[in-house]
Chain A
Amino acid sequence: MFEISPTEWTAILLSLRVAVIATLVATPFGIALAWLLARRDFWGKSLVDAVVHLPLVLPPVVTGYLLLLTFGKRGLVGGWLADHLGIVFAFRWTGAALACGVMSFPLLVRPIRLSIEAVDRRLEQAAETLGAAPWRVFATVTLPLALPGVLAGMVLGFAKAIGEFGATITFVSNIPGETQTISSAIYSLIQTPDGDTAAARLVIISVVLAVGALVAAEVFARRATARLHGQ
């Protein structure tokens, strides 16, 4: 029961790699966007907000198909990237990371936005009177004070990314060793006659990873909060 086969290991490691890359690449964008939504008023803000949340409410298969249309080899963006930068997403693990990044983006942005909104603007003002340029106010006051939210967003995004299934399988299919993550491996296993035990192992592993991520988020948040309250 507890012998993990090489194929399963491949799927686990691939899931981890996809989720880590997706989270790390998405985080800077998430912070920038969260800051814009929290601190700036601009034309089309509600629209941007809606688009960010779209992956949360669209059927994942729709998001995956839209990704395929956009980032596929003949897609508008995908074609350009392949021709000019040699970056290919279609049917590659990078595509899985892109799909997971897009799907987890709303979960990543939301806690960051809330924590930036919670930062006392009077402290930012104080920093300004002490000679800090706007970007340094952000780097030395806003971001450190919003850190619990950033970490919470990253962990939530990671947990979502590691379990993502619908958009990933639509966009990059289910190729063992390239795009077969834990979720798509489970999907394949429960469709094969004697795959039940292997599926059960992967199910346990997903549960462990998800619970681990939530515990980590909690620990980070507590430490950061203690730090911020001047303890």
Chain B
Amino acid sequence: MLRVDIQKQLGEFSLTASFTSEGRVTGLFGASGSGKTSLINTIAGLVRPDRGTIVIDGETVDDTAAGIHVPTWRRRIGYVFQDARLFPHLDIRQNLDYGRRMNGLTEDPAQHKRVVDLLDIGALLDRRPGKLSGGERQRVALGRALLSKPRLLLLDEPLGALDESRKLEILPYLVRLRDEAGVPMVYVSHDAAELRQLATQIVMLRRGQVTAFGGVKVLTAGG
């Protein structure tokens, strides 16, 4: 479960968002400049709200009234950025293993195999990020986030940097992820078609305000 009720002033731009989502995939939908990325970064702890609370999986990670702000690295979230942000000095295997090492988790070969198979990245393990295509990089970034065993997976336009054919290449993996990985996701996109395929709930944002919240149907209501 994810509960968000925050306010944040970023220069001229003010972001106000309040919603509770039990859905497997919460889609944050809006045009560029609507505050989607600021909102997901606030959930990640990269941005500190001016006022309000954020509760992830029953744990209050932000509560300005109580002075609570759990730093990003202790939130046990996974984050897939638009630009995969793989570590260039590590090979794919080490990239995938990074979150497990940082969280002090014991090795879990079964989980590792499941994720590698799910994303079809077994052939890439000994390569360097510099040698991968954009689509491959994004799949590895997904795997890396999943293998840190997050309780919430945040995805900020993970297909945004890919061309149409690559998007179609990754989308099925995301659907499988939603149905098989069992990790709730927050999925940021400005592409209604993408969200119709993936999301179970939609938070619609416009100029920093939530204008609609509900099932995928709100996407057709015209916002």
Residues of A within 8 A of B (CB): 120, 122-123, 125-134, 136-137, 140-141, 144-145, 227-231
Alpha-carbon separation in the docked complex, A226 to B83 (Å): 21
- Chain B residues whose C-beta falls within 8 Å of the C-beta of A127 in the assembled complex: 87, 98, 102
B130 at the binding interface (Cβ < 8 Å): yes
- Chain B residues whose C-beta falls within 8 Å of the C-beta of A141 in the assembled complex: 87
B44 at the binding interface (Cβ < 8 Å): yes
Residue among A120, A131, A132 with the most chain B CB within 10 A? Answer: A131
Does A123 contact B85, Cβ atoms closer than 8 Å?
A: yes
Closest chain A residue, CB of each to CB of B132: A230
B99 at the binding interface (Cβ < 8 Å): yes
Does B88 contact A229, Cβ atoms closer than 8 Å?
A: yes
B49 at the binding interface (Cβ < 8 Å): no
Does B128 contact A130, Cβ atoms closer than 8 Å?
A: no
- Chain B residues whose C-beta falls within 8 Å of the C-beta of A126 in the assembled complex: 79, 81, 85, 87
Does A130 contact B89, Cβ atoms closer than 8 Å?
A: no
Alpha-carbon separation in the docked complex, A129 to B61 (Å): 14
Alpha-carbon separation in the docked complex, A122 to B130 (Å): 16
B97 CB, nearest partner CB in chain A, Å: 10
Overall SS of chain B's interface: mixed
B14 at the binding interface (Cβ < 8 Å): no
Does B102 contact A129, Cβ atoms closer than 8 Å?
A: no
Closest chain B residue, CB of each to CB of A224: B89
- Chain B residues whose C-beta falls within 8 Å of the C-beta of A136 in the assembled complex: 102
- Chain B residues whose C-beta falls within 8 Å of the C-beta of A230 in the assembled complex: 88-89, 128-131
Task: With A128-B72, A131-B103, A131-B148 as known contacts, state yes or no: A122 contacts B79, CB within 8 Å.
Answer: no
Contact of A131 among B76, B88, B131, B154 (CB under 8 A): B76
Instruction: List B residues 116-146 near A (Cβ within 8 Å).
Output: 128-131, 144-145
B73 at the binding interface (Cβ < 8 Å): yes
- Chain B residues whose C-beta falls within 8 Å of the C-beta of A128 in the assembled complex: 46, 71-73
Task: With A122-B83, A130-B148, A131-B76 as known contacts, state yes or no: A144 contacts B98, CB within 8 Å.
Answer: no
B180 CB, nearest partner CB in chain A, Å: 21
- Chain B residues whose C-beta falls within 8 Å of the C-beta of A145 in the assembled complex: 88-89
- Chain A residues whose C-beta falls within 8 Å of the C-beta of B102 in the assembled complex: 127, 130-133, 136, 140
Alpha-carbon separation in the docked complex, A50 to B11 (Å): 33
Does A231 contact B76, Cβ atoms closer than 8 Å?
A: no
B27 at the binding interface (Cβ < 8 Å): no
